[in-house]
Amino acid sequence: MDAIVLAGGRLPPEDPASTTVPGGLKCLQQVGGRTMLQRSLDALSEAHGIGCVIVVGVPPETPLTCAHPLEVIPAERDMIRSLQAAAARLAPAMADARADGAQALVVSADAPLVTGEMLDWMRERAVEGGADITITGVERAVMEARFPGSKRTYVRLRDGELCGGDVAAFRLAMADRGVALAERLVNARKHPWQIAAIVGPGTLASLMAGRLTLAQALKALDDRLDLKLDVVVSPYAEMAMDVDKPEQLALVRAALEARG
């Protein structure tokens, strides 16, 4: 399975590190002696069954190492378009596999605690499920037990609370249609009425009230978006421990120190 590493995103000007990190790129912050991006590539190097790796969003001269064939491409205007550009780079080499349901892993470069073992777990779940898009979630109890004070955002469901993870997978044949639908959801994420138009007002109301189970929420999205979406609940809190705030960076550095 090929992999795409999304490495875009810059530190805000008010962050003191923005003037010391190359280009102000968040993924090039040092954690435990390596950049967050390099740690993502190290995890992919440790993982099994990985083919090509495409990094999106850093200068081509950025020093990077990986055990798998590596290509660096520029970021597009947003995350969804960057993902689409990376999928297009994989398309020629994967033309036959695309028709057979081949998938690609998507890894965020600001989740430096992810390991090869965790990526193996995700790859196996994605292959077993065979969904068009597979995303990860971590239960609140698991997240807060491992990283108290991590300040994640949770979706409240009838069968539990989940925060989104930083590793996903998608079927390459779905790249154009799947990306277009994802772009609609991303663009509407701060506008409830636009979200309601996509998922249906009844589903949105039930979700906001915490009345939907995970299975019901997925079924509603599958029907509405005409694709198979799967959420795999990860036992690894590290898969949702991305770095957006200074206190989260401190948590990650402490975890790496404890890991040795």
For the chain, which residues make up each domain, given as ranges?
2-259
pLDDT value at residue 198: 67
What SS3 string covers the chain? Answer: CEEEEECCCECCCCCHHHHCCHHHEHHHCEECCEEHHHHHHHHHHHCCCCCCEEEECCCCCCCCCCCCCEEEECCCCCHHHHHHHHHHHHCCCCHHHHHCCCEEEEEECCCCCCCHHHHHHHHHHHHHHCCCEEEEEEEHHHHHHHCCCCCCCEEEECCEEEEEEEEEEEEHHHHHHHHHHHHHHHHHCCCHHHHHHHHCHHHHHHHHCCCCCHHHHHHHHHHHHCCCEEEEECCCHHHHCCCCCHHHHHHHHHHHHHHC
Reference 134, options 174, 95, 92; nearest CA is 174
Q: What angle do CA 163, 1, 183 make, to 5 degrees?
A: 50
Full-model pTM: 0.86
**How far apart are the C-alpha atoms of 44 and 46, rounded to whole Å?**
5
pLDDT value at residue 97: 47
CATH 3.90.550.10 fits 2-259, yes or no: yes
pLDDT value at residue 199: 65
pLDDT value at residue 206: 73
Low-confidence ranges of the chain (pLDDT < 70): 14-20, 91-100, 175-199, 204, 207
pLDDT value at residue 153: 86
pLDDT value at residue 196: 56
Reference 236, options 153, 131, 113, 108; nearest CA is 113
